[in-house]
Structure 1
Amino acid sequence: MVPLQPRFERLLTRELQRLAKTMTREQLIQHRLKQLYAWEEVEDPVTRRFLRAATRAWTREELEAVVAATVRAYLPEEEAVH
């Protein structure tokens, strides 16, 4: 896993905590995966290119594994909805 800058790490953690209030861990992973594949909707051109490249370079299973690892790293089990 590539370390994030502290500001982005805080933003990601807050977003995952917010989403975990209404979603199970699996729903959260699927939601984040859906966001990756919605790269055409991203306004920032650099982010759009990165997401587009990621969704073309990796299989869906590989991306799902990356998203799941990210969720595990930034959202401890006790914070997830059960």
Structure 2
Amino acid sequence: MSLQSMEYVIAISEEKSLSRAAERLLISQAALSQHVKKLETELDARLFQRQHGHLVLTDAGRVYVNGARRVLDIYNRALYQIYHM
């Protein structure tokens, strides 16, 4: 699990679309899809399900995104503090 994985899953959850998230992240849809599949295998949990043409978070996905947001916030605050030393 990496910061990049966290950013990817958050983008998909916000865009509710793999193609829009890939466009936002400036990567191919295929690469993003492979990354999510690899992460889901690593976690042994599905993060998204398709509903009415949109990707929505599963319960595991919600837990992952909530944790990822907290981790990224801590990381960004640390970078800010280091920059301003």
Higher relative contact order (CA 8 A, sep 6+): 1
TM-score (structure 1 length as normaliser): 0.31
